[in-house]
Structure 1
Amino acid sequence: MRTVAPHEETASGNIKATRQDWIDLARQTLVSQGVESVRVLPLGQKLGVSRSSFYWYFKSRQDLLAQLLEDWRNTNTRAIVERAQRPADTIIRAVMNVFECWADERLFDPRLDFGIREWARRSASVRDAIEQADAERLAAIREMYRRHGYGEADAVIRARVLYYTQIGYYVLDVNEPMEARLGHLAAYLRSFTGQEPSPSDVAHFSDFASRAEERSRL
């Protein structure tokens, strides 16, 4: 008998929504309407399923919200940490690994991050989760600089400048076309590393960002 993966499970033969369907819709609702709109009955109506579908996968609304937080950790925070920990020949290439998160929303969803931060204004426990995530992301970036020979104080400040600059872009909702940002890429890399990127470095990341933007349009 084939084992059913958790994301493929359904509550019964006539209930078509999966656990991931609930989480995906909860995420979309959080991003577009805020956490107060993440409620069982409206979500079920949008999915076209009964409440029994929800309780097949979740104990309560609070359980769904907890799973939504975990989903956010497993996407946004994991992507930054993984990219910061990737081997790289130079600090320029290491920083560009992290930049991949800003260029490809499949890796890091800025709207989800903003939605979680808005939720944190109303919840002390979510505020704690945000602080933990920020600390984890910053620590990974700091260690990236340390591996490439920067002293502790320099690594800490460069990590803050890199990370807070990007989060500031999202919070301020800066609407800058990718083409414009890529035009400043060499200057950003100089600012974040103190080193001069080569033309091949700039071309390498520009190609990645262009392909990511093309995928987002499909």
Structure 2
Amino acid sequence: MTHKPLLHRDDPDATPLVGNIKVTREDWLNIGLDVLIRDGVERVKVLALAEAMGVSRSSFYWYFKSRQELLDALLTRWEETNTAGLIAQAAAPAPRITGAVLNIFRCIANPDLFNTALDFAVRDWARRSETVRARMREGDAARVAAVTAMFARYGCAEKEAVTRAKVLYYMQLGYDMAEPEESHAYRLMMTPEYLKVFTGQAPTDAEMAEFSDYSRRYWPDLAP
């Protein structure tokens, strides 16, 4: 689910801009990401973005040489958020493998760690661009390698580690793409069972309590 991006000029905590500049490079990126997610890459056009922000198209060229440079920056932002976020979570410390997988599950709850809608938008974009497809494959490989390394840290042999990593990673992608009509409460209730499938172990009460508290920060519909 997307939301209207907050522009610099509309942010009460932002430092005022100098002169006639009304938006920043970050504003162009944010609204470009919003359109990419909502409408697809074909609709990421300079004039349309300028009209949406109520600024002149010429201001775009303060920050970007061309539309292609903006598109490249959007793809880099995807790598710096989704791919980097998942890799960081796979490397996060945990006493047990179940806690390590729960660290990855935080990406499901927290869109700042992993924006699922953005991932789907880039995958759709990759169907139209060989360059984007190549970067997507590099990103997938890096993510699987990070999850494989995570399983290896907890004693899995090489083949077992990569198999568990692929099952966890590709299952989660497919699960989100299918968009099952499940409440957050149901997903949280089922989490211990998924952990048994992915790791062969049951989580501790403390691990689940910590993950439940974390999820409630991002899933306000969960009962306290």
- TM-score, normalised to structure 1's length? 0.91
Partner of 2:195: 189
Whole-angstrom CA distance in 2 between matches of 1:151 and 1:198? 24
Counterpart residue type for residue 90 of structure 1: R
Match of 2:42 among 25, 31, 36: 36
Partner of 2:93: 87
Structure 2 residue 184 is matched with structure 1 residue 178: yes
Whole-angstrom CA distance in 1 between matches of 2:161 and 2:119? 24
**Shift of residue 152 of structure 1?**
0.5
Partner of 1:21: 27
**Shift of residue 9 of structure 1?**
9.9
Q: Alpha-carbon deviations, 1:69-101, whole Å to 9, x = none?
A: 011111111110001011111111111111100
Q: Which runs of 4+ in 1 moved over 6 A?
A: 7-10
Whole-angstrom CA distance in 2 between matches of 1:60 and 1:85? 37
Whole-angstrom CA distance in 2 between matches of 1:8 and 1:67? 23
Partner of 2:3: none
- 3-state SS, counterpart of residue 157 of structure 1: helix
- Structure 2: gaps of 5 or more residues: 1-13
Partner of 1:109: 115
Match of 2:156 among 119, 128, 150: 150
**Shift of residue 48 of structure 1?**
1.2
Whole-angstrom CA distance in 1 between matches of 2:165 and 2:157? 12
- 3-state SS, counterpart of residue 209 of structure 1: helix
Whole-angstrom CA distance in 2 between matches of 1:97 and 1:197? 12
Whole-angstrom CA distance in 2 between matches of 1:8 and 1:74? 24
- Contact in 2 for aligned 1:79/1:107 (Cα 8 Å): yes
Q: Alpha-carbon deviations, 1:99-149, whole Å to 9, x = none?
A: 100111121111111001100110000001110111111100000000110
Aligned length: 208
Whole-angstrom CA distance in 2 between matches of 1:197 and 1:108? 23
Structure 2 residue 145 is matched with structure 1 residue 139: yes
Counterpart residue type for residue 58 of structure 1: F
- Contact in 2 for aligned 1:9/1:18 (Cα 8 Å): no
Distance 1:80 1:8, change over 3 A: farther
Identity between Structure 1 and Structure 2 (%): 47
Whole-angstrom CA distance in 1 between matches of 2:29 and 2:216? 30
Distance 1:208 1:61, change over 3 A: same
**Shift of residue 8 of structure 1?**
7.4
- CA RMSD for the aligned pairs? 1.7
Partner of 2:133: 127
- 3-state SS, counterpart of residue 195 of structure 1: coil
- Contact in 2 for aligned 1:15/1:49 (Cα 8 Å): no
Counterpart residue type for residue 113 of structure 1: D
**Shift of residue 15 of structure 1?**
2.5
- TM-score, normalised to structure 2's length? 0.89
Task: Pick the structure with more helix per residue.
Answer: 1
**Shift of residue 170 of structure 1?**
2.1
Partner of 2:52: 46
- 3-state SS, counterpart of residue 58 of structure 1: coil
